[in-house]
Amino acid sequence: MSEERKGEVTFGGNPVTLVGPKIQVGQKAPEFEVLDNDRKPVTLSSFAGKIRIISVVPSLETGICDAQTRKFNEVAASLGNHVVILTISADLPFTQKRWCAAAGIEQVHTLSDHMEMSFGKAYGTYMKEHRLECRAVFVIDSSDRVVYVEYVPEVAQHPNYEAAIEAAKATQ
């Protein structure tokens, strides 16, 4: 049984239950398996040797999630090819692919956790009451160590983009 944490995050002002451990800076990043836009499996190891910014959103088709993904897409090129940005949500891969095409997103890999909620359960972002991911950002260095963690306390708030970007730059 996965660990459950209640009240650390709210959704519309209401506390939610997060399933999975609370990730800490310094720990080894947990493995996970999600699907890319073509429904092919992707894992943390798929990007081995790269610095990974993992941007977690409830649904790409909502305002803040859209803005968050666009923001990371805008800064991606300036970070260099040794940094990869992954956006993970419980949206279906078809939805993610359609959204990326409409939004012109080409620098961020959108990945779906809809099948098993593998990422959500491994990183403690799975909101049990909604079967969605809470808003969070993780930065993983090229040695698979977590160097930055932010669980956004209210899902309807933006993450601290600058802090995550600076964390990624500092690990280079």
- Mapping DSSP onto H, E and C, the string for 110-163 reads EEECCCCCHHHHHHCCEECCCCEECCEEEEECCCCEEEEEEECCECCCCCCHHH
Q: Please name every residue paired with 18 in a beta bridge, in sequence order, or none if there are none.
A: 5, 127
DSSP state of 4: E
Q: Examine the residue annotation and report whether 134 is marked as an active-site residue of this protein.
A: no
Contact in structure between 73 and 105 (CB atoms under 8 Å): yes
Query: How far is the C-alpha of 100 from the C-alpha of 84, rounded, in Å?
Result: 16
- Which of 19, 57, 65, 108 is catalytic? The answer is 65
Among all residues, which ones are annotated catalytic? 65
